[in-house]
Structure 1
Amino acid sequence: MEGFCYYRPYFNPEFESLIEHINPPRVCIDNDTCKDCTLIKVDSANKHGILLEVVQILTDLDLLILKSYICSDGGWFMDVFHVTDQVGNKITDEALIQYIQKAICTKRSSKEVQVCPGREVRPRHVAMEHVALEMTVTDQPGLLSEVSAVLTELGCHVSAAVAWTHNRRGACIIYVDDHEMGRPITDQKRLCHIQEQLQTVVEAHHKNGEKQCVKLTTPATAQTHTERRLHQLMLTDEDYEPCSICGGSSGAGEGMELKRDKLNNNRMSCGCTQVSIDTCKEKGYSVVNIKCRDRPKLLFDTVCSLTDMQYMVFHAAISSNSSIAVQEYYVRRKDGCTLDSENERYRVRKCLTAAVDRRGTQGLKLEIIAKDRIGLLSDVTRVFRECGLSVTRAEVGTENDKATGTFYVADASGRKISKDMVAAIEKEIDGKVVVHDKPTNKSDSNTRGMDDKPSLLSFGSLLWSRLERISSNFGPVRS
């Protein structure tokens, strides 16, 4: 029977709060059981979203989750994570261990756990008073450059920014404050003017009927995790489409469940993410299986997607073997029902595949360090545009007078990044650029590294880049 509800849990917010107070989370960090990783054991009263909260804490510390075993039946949450740092070492720093314990055992909004001693937490925590610019657009070269240029003209200082692209769609969140005053922008008329100017720029890059959204959100008492918010924006934007190689990006198309096995070999050959959904009738669960290339933050991305689609994880087993990750989730909807209709399964497969693939954007990684100033993001992205490069993913942050950024850039022609390009960027920003020669996706044969020779740009691309630079100097449209 489609839509059968196995059970409908009773929910009382006051009772749940009381249970958490009586039985606060307990965290045990074990460095003795396994010789090659640290075990982080968590048990507490269960609530919707608790798994995501724990994974988010570990992910923000750049820890690698090699394996995980999750159980949350009977109103109690128990989880074991096998983790290492980025270079494969155990977690032995006492300050970091204390931070993990305190962060998991207290609410994420608590000020006392916002800063980890002697360590940078990524993505950088953004102060609650910053205005957030949220955009979902058609991915086009130079658009981020134009948007940041307009913000500079309007006297907005970019304190942090994160941008993703996937399947010809793009989303970004840019946190801004007032450059002259050095404080949040609170004037509603000015906020409306800024949004109107940005809307004009974005609309100029879109044809009639193309989806696009520009929204300024004022400071709030609570703030959604930046990367989770990006997942939400792109999910709402429906940034998924079939793979051109295997013919289906989520394991099977609607009404094609019987053809899933036939497509498996094709999906493995093109490196696509595999998602399948079965039913465990004995226990009343839907079983979601994900098989894909392993990478950092993979667990966060899938758990984030399941949580925001209002599915509860009761049991799970996550492991990685070489470069392949396998995840198995036993889930029900928040109302207690399983995923029995084909339409719902089809949607979940598509959404999970998109969640996995968004952060797997191909491109060459550039790390930039410079003195913070107004217009820095505009200058960096303009140089990228003039060099014929597109930004496929970016993360920018500021602390005191220092600005750091990680950019993934790509070029349709497969041209390498030359030393001349790096020198041009360093001169423009008066800072340091580090190029990571290793491609971000081993399957991408067109992604190249550093080239000692100057890049050869066509006359047309050079002329076009100069015209774009001139046009950007006219400033925002006056209404």
Structure 2
Amino acid sequence: MERYNPSEVYELFVRHMNNPRVVVDNGACATATLVQVHSARKHGVLLDAVAALSDHGVCVRKGYISSDDGRWFMDVFHVVDAAGGKVADAGALLARLESSLSADALPPRPPPAAAGAGTPTLLELVGADRPGLLSEVFAVLHDLRCGTVDARAWTHAGRVAALVFVRDEETGSPIDDAARVRRVESRLRHVLRGGALGARMVRADASAVNMDRRLHQLLNEDGEAGSRADRAESEAEAPTPTAVAVQDWVERGYSVVTVSCRDRPKLLFDVVCTLTDLDYVVYHGTFHTDDDHARQEFYIRRLDERPISSATERRRVIQCLEAAIERRASEGVRLELRITDRRGLLAYVTRVFRENSLSVTHAEITTRGDMAMNVFHVTDVAGRPADPKTIDEVIQRIGTESLRVDEERWPRLCSTEGDAGRGGGGAGIFSLGSLVKKNLVSLGLIRSCS
């Protein structure tokens, strides 16, 4: 029987006493499912809750975050399913949230050397984007006998980041031989035309890696947010529908972040993820959607409980949030591939894209049993919409039974009021405290001055 140190048992006891309490209620609201999370203040708990909602496939229509400026937080979310109705599997959603936020398990221990024989190896890739890059990456992996299990790739502002779980094509075992790892990394760095950060192989449990969060981190570490802002200034691009502002509430010692943009899936996750990874704590917040437009407001402080203190820090927060919101926006035609998996499948499919002058802007690769279920967003090599004739030719070549055009349904399904667009982003920013103060007054946490 494995024994734990008394300090580990005490840590478990403390964590258990402060375990978040979750309520999922289908009766409190006529149009949405109400989710409440009561928790002790701990950095990352809000992100865990939002990530669980995103992973469950629900859409957050509105909600708020509030705290007593001490140890306790209360998060409230009004969520709907993909069809815009209440969540039918409320019990499953509750179980997912409780599992994500649970502190019942003892701290994980590093696995022994012989453990995890079936765990795939994670490749982290970052570099300058160019037409046909993913085709070259998958061709190299196939040449080196690395089979792809799962993968996700994003492109934005001329950069690309990808996470690829691979294993040996012959044996299905992880790739952990040091010489082979160096060979794979070297070949991929050459393709990515990058330095030591261009390609890196690590052992990681796929179930423990939040791929979306890691992609955000890779692109932020790569400086993509800053390069995006520099390009926008130099090229005098038209204003985007995304507007982010950071203001000060000196009397309360908060920085107030406001976001106004078009609503889409996982928007709240992307904003909260970015703030968390920049080491800010959200003390209060309000978010809601109006038609297909989202408005969010967050009262934040740094981990040292101080607000944003310089123009440079303020500019970085704005740049990182704008990039996080925009980089997930999927450009191009959405192609869905469902086919029996085989060696070299991704190398072949992406080569067909390249030979037909199609560029992949986003990719999501999933393997379940012997089936490959992949999604690609493609444009022409100049980033313009792909020619429908070209798409038809690609579908004919790969197989009409396997590859099809699939419209992005989520943005319309998340909106219960229709698809009416909004004007420029600047008009969407609202005054300091306009959303949060209303909720704080109603909760009795601050007094109204009116």
Per the normalisation by structure 2, the TM-score is 0.80
* Mapping of residues 425-464 of structure 1, within 5 Å: 425-426=398-399, 432-437=402-407
Shift of 1:439: 9.7
Q: Taking every aligned residue pair, what percent have the same amino acid on both sides?
A: 39
Residue 320 of structure 1 corresponds to 289
From the superposition, tell whether residues 319 and 183 of structure 1 become closer, same or farther in structure 2 (CA, over 3 Å): same
Match of 2:297, SS? strand
Residue 251 of structure 2 corresponds to 282
Residue 221 (structure 2) pairs with residue 236 (structure 1): yes
Residue 311 of structure 1 corresponds to 280
Structure 1 distance, partners of 2:410, 2:74, is: 34
Match of 1:197, SS? helix
Superposed CA offset, 1:161-194 (max 9, x none): 0000001111101110011111212211111111
Match of 2:224, SS? coil
Match of 1:74, SS? coil
Shift of 1:272: 3.2
Shift of 1:200: 2.3
Per the normalisation by structure 1, the TM-score is 0.75
Match of 2:172, SS? coil
Q: Any gaps of 5 or more consecutive residues in structure 2? A: 1-6, 107-115, 412-418, 422-450
Shift of 1:201: 2.3
Report the aligned-residue RMSD: 3.1
Shift of 1:19: 4.1
Q: Any gaps of 5 or more consecutive residues in structure 1? A: 1-11, 111-125, 250-265, 444-479
2:42 to 44, 47, 56: 47
Aligned length: 392
Match of 2:167, SS? strand
Structure 1 distance, partners of 2:232, 2:351, is: 36
Deviates more, 1:319-328 or 1:100-109: 100-109
1:58 to 32, 53, 75: 53
Structure 1 distance, partners of 2:142, 2:57, is: 32
Match of 1:171, SS? strand
Structure 2 distance, partners of 1:330, 1:414, is: 39
Give the conservation status (yes or no) of the 8 Å contact 1:157–1:176: yes
Shift of 1:294: 0.9
Residue 413 (structure 2) pairs with residue 423 (structure 1): no
* Mapping of residues 203-218 of structure 1, within 5 Å: 203=193, 213-218=198-203
Match of 2:319, SS? helix
* Mapping of residues 261-272 of structure 1, within 5 Å: 270-272=239-241
Structure 2 distance, partners of 1:91, 1:213, is: 41
Give the conservation status (yes or no) of the 8 Å contact 2:337–2:374: yes
Structure 1 distance, partners of 2:274, 2:104, is: 19
Match of 1:41, SS? strand
Shift of 1:102: 3.2
Give the conservation status (yes or no) of the 8 Å contact 2:332–2:386: no
From the superposition, tell whether residues 224 and 94 of structure 1 become closer, same or farther in structure 2 (CA, over 3 Å): closer
Residue 135 of structure 1 corresponds to 125
Residue 99 (structure 2) pairs with residue 103 (structure 1): yes
* Mapping of residues 132-171 of structure 1, within 5 Å: 132-171=122-161
Residue 30 of structure 1 corresponds to 25
Amino acid at match of 1:329: F
2:82 to 83, 86, 104: 86
Give the conservation status (yes or no) of the 8 Å contact 1:363–1:439: no
Shift of 1:98: 4.3
Shift of 1:33: 1.7
